[in-house]
């Protein structure tokens, strides 16, 4: 009721010009729901935001006017075995077609088979040349348990390895080196070879980690390096610039034995020297594969 000096009359407030007071805004949650001047004229919508108290924000409740963001493809692959298997089926079909339509030249395969006749081995490769390792491994001469990370590309790689007959093994980032070494040693005692990337699942690229030397020291098995090259391929825009082959090209596959002796209890100086030696040897194996296709 508003007086005009001559009597009393009733007026209805015009909500188009309604604005929240400073007192009301002081209770607006800052984390999830913020007031916008564009939505302030809508009294009902603004009031729903004002009553969304801080307790709901702390408990993770969703603001009434906010919609849940859909999971990215990366997150979906991380949480879904079926989606990882689907991508592995697609990637595996493409890589198998590339493998069949490429004229491959092998070097060192007979030496690897002779070593497998005596027992399991440790196969080490750079991450950038690892995508064809599962298809080039001689499954008929011995089983291979290849390690993979829980990242999206790692899960797809693990599903791809299972598709071609390898015994893939997921390694969690929370797993300690001692626990991982026990798992690997158990597989080796069962007569299964171990395949892994020298620079790990996350890099940095072309930098040897301690795991290859540690597992070679604990298991005592021979260490072989693997690399492939192709005349038709492309580099992915990833941290390792992974090489992916294309169809109807020429390719080379190299397996080479790392003959350096790894002591049972190396000191820090010896360990650093061995990392440098295996890094140079893996670079030489990769360069040898590149040289075979340049002839």
- For residue 156, what is the domain's CATH number? 3.40.1130
Confidence of residue 221 (pLDDT cuts 50, 70, 90): very high
Domain identity same for 61 and 98: no
End-of-domain residue from the set 32, 67, 102: 67
Domain identity same for 122 and 217: yes
Confidence of residue 55 (pLDDT cuts 50, 70, 90): very low
Domain identity same for 168 and 40: no
Domain identity same for 111 and 224: yes
Query: Is the pLDDT confidence value at 139 over 50?
Result: yes
DSSP string of 115-183, one letter each residue:
HHHHS--EEEE-GGG-TTHHHHS-GGG--EEEEE-SSHHHHHHHHHHHHTT---EE--TTS-HHHHHHH
Give the pTM: 0.72
User: 77 lies in a domain?
Assistant: no
Q: What range defines the domain where residue 43 resides?
A: 15-67
> What share of the chain has pLDDT > 70, as a percent?
67
Of residues 70 and 180, which shows the higher confidence score? 180
Query: Is the pLDDT confidence value at 268 over 60?
Result: yes
According to DSSP, the residues that pair with 254 across neighbouring strands are: 107, 227
Domain identity same for 112 and 243: yes
Name, in order, each residue with C-beta under 8 angstroms of 278's C-beta and a sequence gap of 6 or more. 124, 198, 208, 212, 213, 223, 225, 258, 260
Confidence of residue 81 (pLDDT cuts 50, 70, 90): confident
User: 5 lies in a domain?
Assistant: no
Domain identity same for 103 and 127: yes
User: 74 lies in a domain?
Assistant: no
Domain identity same for 40 and 155: no
**177: nearest Cα among 127, 214, 124:** 214
Domain identity same for 169 and 279: yes
Report the number of distinct structural domains present in the chain. 2
pLDDT tens for each residue of 199-209: 988 889 999 99
DSSP string of 35-84, one letter each residue:
--TTTTT-HHHHHHHHTS-HHHHHTTPPPTT--PPPPPHHHHHHH-HHHH
User: 7 lies in a domain?
Assistant: no
Domain identity same for 286 and 177: yes
End-of-domain residue from the set 6, 41, 67: 67
pLDDT at position 99 is 94
User: 3 lies in a domain?
Assistant: no
User: 211 lies in a domain?
Assistant: yes
User: 245 lies in a domain?
Assistant: yes
pLDDT at position 230 is 97
Domain identity same for 127 and 267: yes
Instruction: Taking residues 229-242, report their average pLDDT.
Output: 94
Confidence of residue 89 (pLDDT cuts 50, 70, 90): confident
User: 241 lies in a domain?
Assistant: yes
Backbone angles phi, psi at 38, to 5 degrees: -70, -30
Domain identity same for 47 and 181: no
32 DSSP 8-state letter: S
Backbone angles phi, psi at 65, to 5 degrees: -95, 5
Name the token pair of 29. 């949650």
The gap from C-alpha 292 to its chain's centroid, in whole angstroms, comes to 30
Domain identity same for 94 and 124: yes
């Amino acid at each position: 009721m508003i007086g005009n000096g001559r009597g009393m009359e009733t007026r209805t407030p015009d909500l188009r010009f309604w604005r929240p007071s400073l007192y009301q805004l002081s209770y607006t949650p800052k984390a999830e729901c913020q007031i916008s001047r564009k939505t302030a004229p809508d009294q009902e919508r603004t009031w729903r935001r004002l009553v969304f108290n801080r307790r709901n924000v702390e408990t993770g409740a969703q603001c009434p006017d906010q919609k849940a963001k859909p999971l990215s493809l990366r997150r979906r692959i991380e949480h879904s075995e079926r989606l990882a298997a689907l991508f592995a089926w697609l990637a595996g079909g493409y890589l198998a077609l590339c493998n069949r339509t490429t004229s491959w030249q092998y070097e060192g395969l007979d030496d690897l088979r002779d070593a497998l006749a005596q027992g399991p081995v440790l196969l080490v490769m750079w991450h950038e040349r690892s995508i064809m390792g599962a298809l080039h491994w001689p499954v008929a001469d011995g089983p291979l348990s290849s390690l993979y990370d829980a990242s999206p590309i790692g899960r797809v790689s693990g599903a791809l390895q299972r598709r071609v007959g390898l015994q893939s093994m997921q390694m969690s980032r929370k797993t300690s080196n001692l626990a991982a070494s026990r798992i690997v040693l158990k597989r080796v005692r069962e007569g299964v070879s171990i395949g892994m990337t020298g620079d790990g699942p996350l890099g940095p690229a072309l930098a040897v980690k301690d795991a290859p030397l540690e597992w070679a020291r604990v298991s005592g098995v021979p260490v072989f390096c693997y690399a492939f090259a192709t005349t038709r391929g492309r580099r992915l825009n990833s941290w390792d610039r992974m090489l992916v082959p294309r169809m109807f090209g020429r390719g080379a596959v190299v397996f080479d034995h790392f003959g350096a002796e790894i002591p049972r209890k190396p000191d820090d100086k010896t360990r650093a020297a061995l990392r440098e030696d295996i890094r140079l040897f893996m670079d030489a194996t990769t360069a040898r594969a590149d040289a075979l296709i340049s002839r």
